[in-house]
Amino acid sequence: MTKTDLLVVGGVSGITAGISCRRHYPDKKVTLVRKEETVLVPCGIPYIYGTVGGPQNNVIPDGILEKNGIELIKGEAVKVDREKRVVTLQDGESISYEKLVLATGSLPMVPPISGIDKKNVFPIKKDFDYVGDVLATMESVKDLVIIGGGFIGMEFADECRKGRDINVTVVEALSHCLQLAMDDDFCAEAEATISETGVKILSNIKVESILGDDTVSGVKLSDGTELKADMVILGIGAVPNTELAKSAGIELGFKNAIKVDRNMQTYTDPNVFACGDCAEKVSFFTGRPIGVMLASIATSEARIAGANLYSMVHKNCGAISVFSTMINGRAFGVAGLTERMARQIGMRIAIGSAEAADTHPGGMPNSTMTKVKLVFAKETGVLVGGSISGGKPVGEMVNVLSACIMHQMTANDIVQFQMGTHPALTSSPIVYPIVNAACKAVISIKE
């Protein structure tokens, strides 16, 4: 039997949890168990089919574990004996632990659609060989239908048409693609941007069945329309992978995610922690459980879990929900609540919007117009959300907004923001869009 102080099960957010433990408790032995031979960068999977060029260019190197003194065991954990503090692997090997972190991630959601099990219908699994097989199949595809217009669906639609003569159609049940993440004006902008590449968007309609004999030949929609398809990709979301936790008698919560407290400690066992997609999330704004799954949240949780194993160092403030994506060269990002989300929870809000080129002057090469929309609580002026579209700077601008939200900055605070600017790198300080949007909101808040 192998003995360790910390045993981490799972190879993505689990890496961060292990590193966090090593930093805070350098005398502790850390062992990570994962079933994958090679670990993919989850957020990079759509880019395997275009920009990156293959799964071999989208991996997390094992060297990061060795560098941080973490032992790697490749095998599938199948049983947790919490009383004895022993985890058993599929090959019969057993590992004893003092503390256990479950970072088992998520699995693709597969809807109950007739014909969903036909050949060339692919849910997106985080498996190196599997995504390689999907890539090989795609090389001979002429008509691709993507079910679901969220992050996964839109990124796949954008990437799969790169370098290929292929017809791509996205089918989305809601009235807009990305509607669960962005306000309608940003959704419409994203749809228009991807439509420029030739991708076809069909929204406000559902897939009724997958057509064909053994292999998919088409998709039938709820209005009776039939689309040609020799490949279907499922991009409708993911569910927590919590079978191991469930079999160990660990309490599950919202959407069968592992129930954890603010320390990332399970409600069931003080020696078992959980982080990442398998762990339950609560909203930063309401404290209520939410089903969001983002790498930014997973790694934050992992750092907290690793730090708290032997002494409570950090508290999880709840999920702010920060994301960014790139569609046909234009970036979209959101931090916190959108206008729609804020109104849905009954919040009185003030909105400030601004646009500016991300260089000054705007005529500099590769300049892109940046659009910012900020959402403030009406009574307090506190920032609760922000949406941005534009060029690559959007990715870091939403991170700035996330920090402002976390520290409950007000519109007045942001008006006084002292930004570093450069003609080739940022908007002009005169029209810096985050600040100008806050300036406009101040007037609305006073009314």
Mean pLDDT, rounded, for 342-355: 97
Q: Quick one: average pLDDT of 57-70?
A: 97
Phi, psi of 331 (to 5 degrees): -95, 145
Mean pLDDT of the 16-41 span: 97
Q: Are 131 and 224 part of one and the same domain?
A: yes
Could you tell me if 161 and 222 lie in one domain? Answer: yes
Residue 442: pLDDT over 80: yes
Q: What is the pLDDT of residue 169?
A: 98
pLDDT of residue 235: 93
Per-residue pLDDT, averaged over 284-292, amounts to: 96
Q: Which residues contact 342 (CB under 8 A, 6 or more apart)?
A: 349, 375, 384, 385
Concatenated DSSP letters of 101-112: EE---EEE----
| Domain enclosing residue 230, as ranges | 121-236
* Domain C-terminal end among 259, 275, 308: 308
Reply yes or no on whether the pLDDT at 350 is more than 90: yes
Is residue 269 in a domain? yes
193 and 161 fall within a common domain: yes
* Percentage of the chain lying above the pLDDT 70 cut: 100
Q: Is 255 within a domain? A: yes
> Based on the domain organization, do 99 and 243 belong to the same domain?
yes
- What average pLDDT does this structure show over 272-288? 97
Tokens of 196: 């420029």
In 90-236, DSSP assigns E strands to 94-96, 99-102, 106-108, 121-123, 143-147, 167-172, 200-203, 207-212, 216-221, 226-228, 231-234
Give me the number of domains the chain comprises.
3
From residue 143, alpha-carbon distances to 4, 177, 224, 443 in Å are 51, 20, 18, 51
Domain co-membership, 139 together with 227: yes
Q: What is the pLDDT of residues 112-125, one digit of tens each?
A: 999 999 999 999 99
Residue 55 domain-assigned (yes or no): no
What whole-number percentage of the chain has pLDDT above 90?
Answer: 98
Domain of residue 375, CATH code:
3.30.390.30
- 320 in a domain, yes or no? no
Domain containing 177 — which CATH number?
3.50.50.60
Q: Residues 268, 291: one domain?
A: yes
Task: Using the predicted structure, report yes or no on whether residue 58 has a pLDDT greater than 80.
Answer: yes
The pTM score is 0.95
342/340 Cα distance (integer angstroms): 6
Q: What's the pLDDT band for 446 if we cut at 50, 70, 90?
A: confident
Same domain, 82 and 151: no
Give the pLDDT confidence of 320-335 residue by residue, as tens digits: 999 999 999 999 999 9
Tokens of 291: 């089903």
Instruction: Write down the pLDDT at residue 444.
Output: 87
pLDDT at 402: 98
**Residues 281 and 296 both lie in one domain:** yes
pLDDT, position 447: 73
Residue at which a domain ends, from 184, 209, 236: 236
CA distance to 126, 151, 349, per residue, from 46 (Å): 11, 10, 36
Taking alpha carbons only, the member of 290, 278, 288 closest to residue 246 is: 278
Q: Identify whether 400 is part of a domain.
A: yes
Asked if the structure places residue 114 within a domain, the reply is: no
pLDDT reported for residue 260? 98
Is there a single domain that holds both residue 100 and residue 14? yes
Q: Are 14 and 34 in contact (CB under 8 A)?
A: yes
* Average of per-residue pLDDT across 187-211: 97
Give me the mean pLDDT over the 128-141 stretch.
96
- Mean pLDDT of the 257-270 span: 98
Given 236, 257, 278, the domain boundary residue is 236
160-175 per-position pLDDT tens digit: 999 999 999 999 999 9
Within-domain flag for 317: no
Query: Would you say residue 314 lies in a domain?
Result: no
Asked if pLDDT for residue 201 goes beyond 80, the answer is: yes
Kindly state the average pLDDT of the residues 417-438.
95
| pLDDT value at residue 87 | 98
Query: Do 8 and 84 sit in the same domain of this protein?
Result: yes
Examine the domain organization and report whether 138 and 163 are in the same domain.
yes
What mean pLDDT, rounded, does the chain reach? 96
Among 422, 323, 227, CA closest to 219? 227
| Contact between 233 and 168 (Cβ < 8 Å) | no
**Residues 84, 192: one domain?**
no
